[in-house]
Amino acid sequence: MGRPVTATSSVQNYVPGNTVDGNANSYWESANNSWPQSLTVDLGNSLAVKRLVLKLPPSSAWGTRTQTIAVLGSTNGSSYSTLAAAAGRTFDPGSGNTATITLPAAVNTRYVRLTFTANTGWPAGQLSEYEVYSS
């Protein structure tokens, strides 16, 4: 929680920092109809990354949606490699609007970037909590 996070765009008060504030009801939203969009967190130093937990607001008002998201990693913040290929990540309010991405192996990386290329529920990338784990 509280790590520096940046995004390629955001709208209104739906800023990148909302994804690391510990409040699942606040969220980031990218510019509409402008793919791809990215959200990057700086872990502070290289750490073993194995699993990401992504959340949207838990309210049932957020209907089920699938966002196409790839995970990239970097040790220097400029050259990135793919950690998990772009795939549909389903967020369902019936199961807490949470999507978990488990990497095949733990990877040492400092910067973890999510690249959004589609969303079936809104024409923008959306995320309320961005959690990175070593196991």
**Please, is 51 exposed, middle or buried when counting C-beta atoms within 10 Å of its C-beta (0-12, 13-18, 19+)?**
middle
Task: Determine the length of the chain.
Answer: 135
> What mean pLDDT value characterizes the chain?
96
The percent of residues above 90 in pLDDT, for the chain, comes to: 93
* Domain boundaries, position 62: 5-133
Number of structural domains in the chain: 1
Q: State the CB neighbour count (10 A cutoff) for residue 128.
A: 24
Give the pLDDT band (50/70/90) at residue 60. Answer: confident
Burial of 93 (0-12, 13-18, 19+ CB in 10 A): middle
3-state SS assignment for residue 17: helix
Q: So what's the pLDDT on residue 1?
A: 59
Here the CATH number for the domain that contains residue 36 is 2.60.120.260
pLDDT tens-place string over residues 68-125: 999 999 999 999 999 999 999 999 999 999 999 999 999 999 999 999 999 999 999 9
Is the backbone peptide bond immediately before 16 cis, with ω within 30 degrees of 0? Answer: no
Determine the Cα–Cα distance for residues 83 and 74; give it in Å rounded to an integer: 10
Round to whole Å and give the CA distance between 37 and 69: 10
